[in-house]
């Protein structure tokens, strides 16, 4: 599957002239940076809450993961 994706990527690159590849890459990078900045502005409070609450939820997540592991191991093969 990955080889097929890379094949499509290479075919797409062949359509773009070599002289335009760097400017297009820079434009795409700028758009991605602005998109990330806008995302962080809109969702900053949720990201901060997630970071603050994740350590408190870690023991519960470990317990749930351990329980699921025991259940998976009891499934007959």
5-23 pLDDT, tens digit per residue, is 889 988 988 898 888 888 9
Report pTM. Answer: 0.52
Q: pLDDT tens, 24-75?
A: 889 999 999 999 999 988 998 988 888 888 888 889 989 999 999 999 998 8
Q: Specify the number of domains making up the chain.
A: 1
Looking at residue 16, the DSSP 8-state letter turns out to be: S
Residue 14's φ and ψ, nearest 5 degrees, are -65, -25
Domain ranges, residue 35: 2-74
Q: Which two tokens stand for residue 44?
A: 């900053």
């Amino acid at each position: 599957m990955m080889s097929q994706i890379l094949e499509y990527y290479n075919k797409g690159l062949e359509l773009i002239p070599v002289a335009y590849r760097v400017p297009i890459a820079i434009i795409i990078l700028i758009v991605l940076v602005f998109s990330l900045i806008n995302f962080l502005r809109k969702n900053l409070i949720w990201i901060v809450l997630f970071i603050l609450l994740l350590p408190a939820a870690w023991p519960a997540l470990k317990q749930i993961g351990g329980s699921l592991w025991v259940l998976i191991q009891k499934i007959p093969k």
